[in-house]
Amino acid sequence: MAKKTVLLATALVFIFVVSTGVVNAQSARDYISIVGSSTVYPFATVVAEQFGKTTRYKTPKIESTGSGGGLKLFCAGVGVEHPDITNASRRIKKSELEKCQSNGVTEIVEVKIGYDGIVLANSNRAKPMKLSRKDIFLALAKEVPDPKGGEKLVANPYRTWKDVNPSLPNIRIEVLGPPPTSGTRDAFVELAMESGAKKFDWLAALRKKDKKAFKAVAHTLREDGAYIEAGENDNLIVQKLDANPNAVGIFGFSFLDQNTDKIQGSYVDGVQPSFDAIASGDYPLSRPLFFYVKKAHIGVIPGMEGYLAEFTSEKAWGPDGYLADKGMIPMPDAERYKYRADVAKLHVLTALK
């Protein structure tokens, strides 16, 4: 009898909860929904928090889904069940823009928010590495020009940094970096590897002649264990570097900024990564960050204008703004003004240049 009562009670509670779920599922959305890149996430969240705490609106919800996943959700359509804004660590692709348009998301506002520096770093206990982009290319490409000379490619023969460049230390090449699905990797390959490859005259000539063949050389990282795909958790890379002084890591500038007592940035072409060096463009490796706004949702989802205004205000993305404190590299003044004006006018992205 007692057991039966327990059973009955459980069943009743069960039905109760399921039904309350059904009841509640119909409430409307009164907050901004943002999805997208995990690289932009730490910056967008600061703005969202400021916005939520200083206005009467709720704090926007920001999901970390990756740029691709974010754009897919964003482009799925107009309406409350779809996100209002997506963050991206790369520009929207043509195919994605078309997908958006075919789903009725015809008016998208593109906002560039600043730059993220990409740094190479190693443990403080070792000497700082003084690399050139050519060194990076030779150390990490899957196929490199034959060291014996001649215009042909061989599988990367270099085992130690000293093999690559006699001025570098005699330690095994061990680089922890992002996987091929990452935008950081994409930008790194573009900025460091490609310009490293261009240092070889015949590869530069190849680039003019057959762009695809050149990129196939420059964009493929070696897979023999010297380059270790370490996942997207940059803190983990920092800790692994701390544990292994011989390794070099590739990650975003903000992680270097926060861990200067453990790791040091490697010189690239004679410049050590620092806030000012990246902002002035002296340090060569940085990439732009974006977010995309659904114009149809502006004025309908509560707080959209306010969030945009907060993000594009000087106190957020300016050189002394709170985003800079978090490690984002601000855009030059002219570019900032342009994008602020674009946002104010809700300038719609029509076609990709």
Distance, in Å, from the CA atom of 350 to the CA atom of 50, rounded to the nearest integer, reads: 31
Which C-beta is closer to other proteins: that of 165 or that of 298? 298
Q: Which of 252, 278, 258 is nearest to 183 (CA)?
A: 252
Which C-beta is closer to other proteins: that of 65 or that of 132? 65
CB of 28 to other proteins, least distance (A): 4
CB of 288 to other proteins, least distance (A): 13
Which C-beta is closer to other proteins: that of 132 or that of 277? 277
Question: Does 295 interact with other proteins (rule: CB under 8 A)?
Answer: no
Question: Does 319 interact with other proteins (rule: CB under 8 A)?
Answer: no
Of residues 36-55, which lie at the interface with other proteins (CB under 8 A)? 37-39, 41-42, 44-46, 48-50, 52-55
Question: Does 116 interact with other proteins (rule: CB under 8 A)?
Answer: no
Among 107, 135, 174, 310, indicate the residue that binds other proteins (CB under 8 A).
174
Among 56, 148, 208, 209, indicate the residue that binds other proteins (CB under 8 A).
56
Which C-beta is closer to other proteins: that of 53 or that of 148? 53
Which C-beta is closer to other proteins: that of 37 or that of 286? 37
Q: Which are the contacts of 126, defined by CB distance < 8 A and separation ≥ 6?
A: 169, 245, 246
Question: Does 324 interact with other proteins (rule: CB under 8 A)?
Answer: no
Residue 227's alpha-carbon distances to 141, 166, 222, 230, 234, in angstroms, are 9, 20, 6, 9, 15
Which C-beta is closer to other proteins: that of 132 or that of 144? 144
Which C-beta is closer to other proteins: that of 164 or that of 296? 296
CB of 135 to other proteins, least distance (A): 21
Which of these segments, 95-103, 145-153, 157-165, 334-342, binds other proteins (CB under 8 A)? Answer: 95-103
Which C-beta is closer to other proteins: that of 18 or that of 205? 18
Q: Which of 82, 190, 205, 182 is nearest to 136 (CA)?
A: 190
Question: Does 93 interact with other proteins (rule: CB under 8 A)?
Answer: yes
Among 57, 162, 267, 284, indicate the residue that binds other proteins (CB under 8 A).
57
DSSP 127-163: PPPEE-HHHHHHHHBSEEE-TTSSS-EEE----BHHH
Residue 115 in tokens:
């730059």
Which of these segments, 107-115, 130-138, 158-166, 318-326, binds other proteins (CB under 8 A)? Answer: 318-326
3-state secondary structure of 88: strand
Distance, in Å, from the CA atom of 70 to the CA atom of 93, rounded to the nearest integer, reads: 13
Distance, in Å, from the CA atom of 228 to the CA atom of 28, rounded to the nearest integer, reads: 46
Which C-beta is closer to other proteins: that of 131 or that of 256? 256
* Angle, helices 94-102/67-74, rounded to nearest 10 degrees: 20
Q: How many residues does the chain have?
A: 353
Of residues 138-157, which lie at the interface with other proteins (CB under 8 A)? 142
216, 153 contact by CB (below 8 A): no
Cβ burial 203-222 (10 Å sphere, 16+ → b, else e):
beebbeeeeeebbebbbebb
Residue 297 in tokens:
């949702």
Question: Site size for other proteins, by CB under 8 A?
Answer: 128
Of residues 250-269, which lie at the interface with other proteins (CB under 8 A)? 252, 254-255, 257-261
Among 170, 225, 351, 353, indicate the residue that binds other proteins (CB under 8 A).
225
Residue 240 in tokens:
């692994």
Q: Is 132 exposed, middle or buried (0-12, 13-18, 19+ CB in 10 A)?
A: buried
Of residues 178-197, which lie at the interface with other proteins (CB under 8 A)? 179-183, 186, 190
Question: Does 89 interact with other proteins (rule: CB under 8 A)?
Answer: yes
Among 119, 197, 221, 250, indicate the residue that binds other proteins (CB under 8 A).
221
Distance, in Å, from the CA atom of 43 to the CA atom of 330, rounded to the nearest integer, reads: 12
